[in-house]
Structures are given as C-alpha cells and as structure tokens.
C-alpha cells in the first residue's frame, strides 16, 4: 500500500457516468438513463487551483460527485489519488467536498462535519 504524503495528485481517467432520468409522467414506464459525463480526463496537483466550468446541466456537479464517490448511477473509468484508486474511505480521509448548499454546524470539527455529510 502506498503512503500518501502532503503532495497530492488527483487524476480522473476516461470517466463516463450515466444517471437515471425521471420519466416525468404517471403513464410512463419509469425513468430512463442519460449519459452525463463522457470521456472526462483531468489531473490536479496539490497547490493548483482548477475551475470546472460549464452551462447548467453540463455535468459539473456529477463530476464532483463521481470523484467524491457520492454519485448515483453507473460510472466507468478511474479516479486515482497519488496513483491509488480513490475509494470512498480514502476520499473521506484525505479530501473534502463542500456543496453549494452546505450548512456548517457550529462546534463540530471538520472531520465530524465531513463524516455527517457522507
């Protein structure tokens, strides 16, 4: 097992993500699936700032959810942290992800807030 130091490299290779889409009607036979991410690749080194830009519905949040292992639906591809597969547990130990609608609870440590959100 590799030890992860203070220098991090986050990589995503050939990420495809499909999510369920609500059919929208009571006579519909259920939802269908939609391809949200198609062949996404990225590399981010510690100390860098990366912006994920796109129009509404382009998959920005889906990409962050895939990296954070919070995504619902089917995902293909690899997400690595320092060359090791980024599991949900490793993400929770080494990373953080704060959503736009996140509410912080006074008195809780960062670890307890992140643990409660997962």
User: Mean pLDDT by 10-residue block, N- to C-terminus, for the chain (118 residues)?
Assistant: 68 95 59 91 92 92 93 95 93 81 70 62
0.85 surpassed by pTM: no
- pLDDT for the residue numbered 10: 95
Class of CATH domain 9-117: alpha beta
- pLDDT for the residue numbered 27: 54
Burial class (CB in 10 A: 0-12, 13-18, 19+), 79: buried
- pLDDT for the residue numbered 2: 47
- pLDDT for the residue numbered 61: 92
Pairing of β 32-45 and β 84-85: unpaired
Considering Cα of 62, then 89, then 15, then 71, what sign does the dihedral take?
A: negative
The span from the CA of 33 to the CA of 100, in Å, is 25
- pLDDT for the residue numbered 106: 75
The span from the CA of 52 to the CA of 54, in Å, is 7
Angle at 22 between CA 21 and CA 28, to 5 degrees: 125
- pLDDT for the residue numbered 28: 53
Structure tokens at 50: 């990366």
- pLDDT for the residue numbered 117: 52
Contact indicator for 68, 92 with CB cutoff of 8 Å: no
Among the residues of 14-87, which ranges form H helices? 60-67
- pLDDT for the residue numbered 98: 75
For 114, other C-beta atoms within 10 Å of its C-beta total 17
Structure tokens at 48: 């860098």
Domain boundaries of the chain, sorted by first residue: 9-117
């Amino acid at each position: 097992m590799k030890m992860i130091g203070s220098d991090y490299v986050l990589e995503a290779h050939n990420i495809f993500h499909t999510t369920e889409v609500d059919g929208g009607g009571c006579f519909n036979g259920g939802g269908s699936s939609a391809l949200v991410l198609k062949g996404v690749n990225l590399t981010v080194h510690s100390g860098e700032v990366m912006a994920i830009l796109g129009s509404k519905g382009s998959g920005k949040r889906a990409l962050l959810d895939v990296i954070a292992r919070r995504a619902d639906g089917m995902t293909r591809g690899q997400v690595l942290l320092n060359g090791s597969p980024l599991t949900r547990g490793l993400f929770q130990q080494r990373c953080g992800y704060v959503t736009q609608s996140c509410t912080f609870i006074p008195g809780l440590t960062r670890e307890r807030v992140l643990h409660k959100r997962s």
